[in-house]
Amino acid sequence: MTTVPTPQSSRPGDLSPEEFRAAAHAAVDWIADYLEHPERVPVRSRARPGDVTSALPASPPKHGEPLADMMADFERIILPGITHWNHPSFFAYFANSSTYPGILGELLTAGLNANAMMWITSPAATELEQVTLDWLRQLMGLQDGWFGQITDTASVSTFYALAAAREALGLDIRARGMAARHDLPTLRVYCSEHAHSSIDKAVIALGLGHDNLIKIPADEHFRMRPEALREAIATDLALGHLPMAVVPCIGTTSTTSVDPVPEIVRIAKEFDCWVHVDTAYAGPAAIVPELRYLLDGVEGADSMVVNPHKWLFTPVDCSVLYTKRPDALRQAFALLPEYLVTKDQDQVVNLMDYGIQLGRRFRALKLWMVLRAFGADGLAERIRFHCELARDFAGMVHFEGGWELTAPVPLSLVCFRYAPAHASEDAIASMNAAIMERVNAEGRAYLSHTKLNGKYTLRLAIGNIRTDRSHIEQVWSELRAAATAVAG
Ligand SMILES: *Cc1c(COP(=O)(O)O)cnc(C)c1O
């Protein structure tokens, strides 16, 4: 028996405007309900590997399917496979959240579908990006003179920064490459042992060789030791290597430690090294006046990355790369094939000249809407509150027998663990892994872990706009209950 497909609209495949209107209103209602009651779902998905795949047809539909079926499958198949970053008790990795103004921005961006590859292909997209990033610069208390562009992730922003640093050496690597060049010394990049793996990936992707990323030891508070940096550079120079870039981090991934950027900049500049500051998570904290000191020394750097999609209430994805040397980025990436020549090209910014990608999503719209809806005061208030919650939680841990803090708490992340007296390091590690798994499996909170100097440590990261004191208290009581159960 053959079934005759019912056309959904006058134009097969697409919806009719009326159908879209009704479906979009319903989707917006769905989002508002979801964000109003995010606690109705378990934070961490309970899906097992393959669950989602096996619930989906292996081949695509031949005939168009009704929207109602898709929405039903969204609830039935997709949602159970979602880990809810919007949940106020999402404390793993670095928590984030999307907010209504950001969601509206995303919706309008999808509606416009502008490809901002050049100024002329949507002047407002390019100009809004420049203006919004200049606002963000001012919000973080940085001086004039930074050129900003939006990328998808900090990983890509850092890759671009190091590509610019390599070109700024003046060794014509863009044209001649690096292979079989006897005139080319080994290029070296330096970061702390606590730096993010995106630095490693950038070094690998740029063909510098992973062995040429030098991890500088940190002090007892997990901050890069400047004198160790100086020694590493001196050793490399003696070997005939060329120090290319130093990448300090403000807000490291494991502990949110802050590398001493002013001293690092001073040393790097002595040796003509590019300084790229990774402040993907912590950068927005500089919007809070009393936390502005975090960016001390950044004015001396060449580039910096900050992620509004982390702690600035903007939906994934939105990372910002700032540089004081946009000319070096252009030197690394600008190309002009005939089909992209435009008559105004010398009077405008064409963002395709500053990186790999030609096509570009209009991401500035959502960030602009977030910054406008919150204002400097609203943003500062939220970020300040998250830091306060982290200090409260740290206090609970500190005063509870058998538990300990494993790192200072400068921002909104707490590193801690259950460490009963006389337990061995191995026993502590397996108890904490078991405590975390118990809490995560319950579905009411989600934490992640790290290792600090080989010591297994839990991490509680606060960054969701809907998190309040009750969520902190609840996860703390779950953790203690899990510890009791695990310790037997
Ligand atoms: C999160 C983070 C990154 C990576 O960010 P992506 O946008 O996921 O690439 C890099 N560095 C630091 C310090 C981070 O916190």
Other beta carbons within 10 Å of 485: 11
Residue 420 to residue 434: CA distance in whole angstroms: 15
Phi and psi angles of residue 320, each rounded to the nearest 5 degrees, phi first: -120, 125
Ligand 1 mean position, distance from CA 253 (Å): 8
| CATH code of the region 17-84 | 1.20.1340.10
Q: Where are the domains of the chain?
A: 17-84, 115-361, 371-487
Q: Which of 94, 306, 307 to mutate to test ligand 1, by most ligand atoms within 8 A of the CB atom? A: 307
Does residue 317 have a cis bond before it (omega within 30 degrees)?
yes
Q: At 460, is the secondary structure helix, strand, or coil?
A: strand
**Residues 322, 98, 114, CA angle at the centre, nearest 5°?**
60
Residue 394 to residue 486: CA distance in whole angstroms: 22
Q: What local confidence, expressed as pLDDT, does residue 417 receive? A: 98
Q: Is the CB of 255 under 6 A from ligand 1?
A: no
Q: What local confidence, expressed as pLDDT, does residue 403 receive? A: 98
Q: Is the CB of 159 under 6 A from ligand 1?
A: no
Q: Is the CB of 247 under 6 A from ligand 1?
A: no
Q: Whose CA is nearest to atom 14 of ligand 1?
A: 280
Ligand 1 mean position, distance from CA 202 (Å): 12
| CATH code of the region 371-487 | 3.90.1150.170
Distances (CA, A) of 345 to 120, 341, 354: 9, 7, 14
Q: What local confidence, expressed as pLDDT, does residue 78 receive? A: 97
Distances (CA, A) of 288 to 92, 210, 267: 23, 37, 29
Distances (CA, A) of 177 to 180, 181, 185, 186, 246: 9, 8, 13, 13, 22
CB 286 within 8 A of CB 261: no
Q: Is the CB of 319 under 6 A from ligand 1?
A: yes
Whose tokens are 């079989």? That residue is: 180
Residue 53 to residue 47: CA distance in whole angstroms: 11
Q: What local confidence, expressed as pLDDT, does residue 6 receive? A: 53
Distances (CA, A) of 143 to 51, 387, 405, 435: 51, 25, 36, 46
Which residues, given as ranges, of the chain have pLDDT below 70? Answer: 1-12
Ligand 1 mean position, distance from CA 310 (Å): 9
Which residue type does 109 have?
T
115-361 maps to CATH 3.30.2230.10: no
Q: With CA atoms as reference, report the closest residue to 432 among 456, 448, 415.
A: 456
Query: Do 17-84 and 371-487 agree at the fold level?
Result: no
Q: Is the CB of 281 under 6 A from ligand 1?
A: yes
Q: What local confidence, expressed as pLDDT, does residue 117 receive? A: 93
Q: With CA atoms as reference, report the closest residue to 200 among 267, 269, 154, 260.
A: 154
The pairing of strands 413-418 and 455-461 is antiparallel
